[in-house]
Amino acid sequence: MTDALPKTGRSFADVETWVFDLDNTLYPHHVNLWQQVDGRIRDYVANALNVPPEEAFRIQKDYYKRFGTTMRGMMSEHGISADDFLAYVHRIDHSPLQPNPAMGAAIAALPGRKLILTNGSTDHAGKVLARLGFADHFEAVFDIVAAELEPKPAPRTYRRFLDRHRVDPARAAMFEDLARNLVVPHGLGMTTVLVVPDGTREVIREDWEMEGRDAPHVDHVTDDLAGFLVGLGAQ
């Protein structure tokens, strides 16, 4: 487990609500399931804008970085239908995901509530959690539709989430694979954990997605989420 970077001093002693991102957080980065979604997003952009794949890829990544999701960029710049976009890009093969009993047991053992906060759809989240084998451990999924199509890291999305589920941020922890998505939670008082790829495996990420592990808004860093959660129970 990687957890040796400078910390802000926040602990998990008072945590009663555990909030998890979904993709590349609850399953290993090296599965590269998101590659499938990434490819379908590119195809959607190419078809919707009638541009070649190379230009679609450029637009996709530009919107992702500027708007939080490519979908938000396509909605803002081109007025596309969110329902159509989500249905198309999440039509993927989830079979690379395998049951993870160790992770399930570690999550089940956490004291308090467990929630999912994702920029994906509830349908996609349900399929991922079913494949992993621990859907029953989570009280609810707060998805991009619940966020009124405004993705993380938009501050209003976290506020909507906290209000809907009556979460006290000072007594909550947030687990994410993108450091920029932890800025607002940390500012609200949550204990933050950045989940990074296992350094021994090849993963497909953009350079900016890998940044931030030494940022002040990141309290803890781990490349072994299940082991990290087990360690919390031993404290």
The enclosing domain of 53 has a CATH number of 1.10.150.450
Q: Which range among 103-112, 174-183, 210-219, 225-234 shows the weakest confidence by mean pLDDT?
A: 210-219
Answer whether residue 68 shows pLDDT above 60.
Answer: yes
Q: Do residue 119 and residue 131 come from a single domain?
A: yes
Residue 10 lies in a domain: no
pLDDT digits 0-9 by tens, 167-213: 999 999 999 999 999 999 999 999 999 998 875 455 555 665 567 77
pLDDT value at residue 6: 45
Q: Do residue 138 and residue 193 come from a single domain?
A: yes
Q: Which domain holds residue 134?
A: 17-30+98-233
Q: What is the pTM of this model?
A: 0.86
Residue 19 contacts residue 190 (beta carbons within 8 Å): yes
Phi-psi label, residue 112: left if phi above 0, alpha if psi -120 to 50, beta otherwise: left
Residue 5 lies in a domain: no
Q: Rounded to the nearest 10 degrees, how much is the dihedral formed by the CA atoms of 170, 128, 137, 163?
A: 30
The enclosing domain of 196 has a CATH number of 3.40.50.1000
Q: Do residue 133 and residue 197 come from a single domain?
A: yes
